Amino acid sequence: MTCHSSESTDTIENGRRTETESRVVDSDENRIARAMKDLKNTDDEWNIPEATLQVVPTDRQLARLASCLGSDWESVLLDLGLSTGALYRCRVDHPLSSHGQVLAGLVQWRQSQGKRATIHRLLQSLQATDIHPSTVKEVFL
């Protein structure tokens, strides 16, 4: 039978906590590294110059994107941070034009985000909703 003093037990438990904490930190670091790698791969896959990625999209670019999105537009706009209420408003304001609904949502997103509404952020949402780069190939070039 092995007996541990309370000091010895505390040391073992603290050692486990430290080991567990190390695994959590390592796990977070690995997750961040994978995300950064995925982000770089995303940029490469879309084949858009870095300078363009940091720009706020123009009305023309948003109109082109609205033409390409199809039925996935709501998922993209939700990923961009628009509320379901805002999406409803876009549908109600443009009941006869799906292009108008999408464009209204994209413009609302751009207005609400200001300089943070970049092409890069749009591409992240497009990727998150599994829209293939070929779908919007010419929009941002």
Q: Within this chain, do residues 59 and 127 fall inside the same structural domain, yes or no?
A: yes
Helix H or strand E encompassing 42: helix 6-46
Domain range for 29: 1-46
User: What pLDDT is attached to residue 99?
Assistant: 96
pLDDT (tens place) for every residue of the chain, 141 residues total = 444 444 544 545 555 555 555 555 556 666 555 555 554 444 456 778 888 899 999 999 999 999 999 888 999 999 999 999 999 999 999 999 999 999 999 999 999 999 999 999 999 999 999 988 887 877 887
Cβ proximity of 53 and 123 under 8 Å: yes
Specify if 94 maps to a domain.
yes
Q: Within this chain, do residues 5 and 31 fall inside the same structural domain, yes or no?
A: yes
Q: What is the pTM of this model?
A: 0.68
Specify if 8 maps to a domain.
yes
Q: Within this chain, do residues 58 and 41 fall inside the same structural domain, yes or no?
A: no
Residue at which a domain ends, from 26, 46, 66: 46
Cβ proximity of 88 and 78 under 8 Å: no
Specify if 141 maps to a domain.
no
Q: Within this chain, do residues 92 and 112 fall inside the same structural domain, yes or no?
A: yes
Tokens for 124, please give them: 């992240």
Specify if 42 maps to a domain.
yes
User: What pLDDT is attached to residue 85?
Assistant: 97
Cβ proximity of 48 and 89 under 8 Å: no
Euclidean distance between CA atoms 41 and 34, whole angstroms: 10
Q: Within this chain, do residues 74 and 128 fall inside the same structural domain, yes or no?
A: yes
Helix H or strand E encompassing 130: none
The amino acid that residue 117 corresponds to is A
User: What pLDDT is attached to residue 96?
Assistant: 96
Specify if 27 maps to a domain.
yes
Specify if 111 maps to a domain.
yes
What is the DSSP annotation of 43-94? HHHHT--HHHHTSPPPHHHHHHHHHHHGGGHHHHHHHHT--HHHHHHHHHHS
Q: Within this chain, do residues 63 and 42 fall inside the same structural domain, yes or no?
A: no
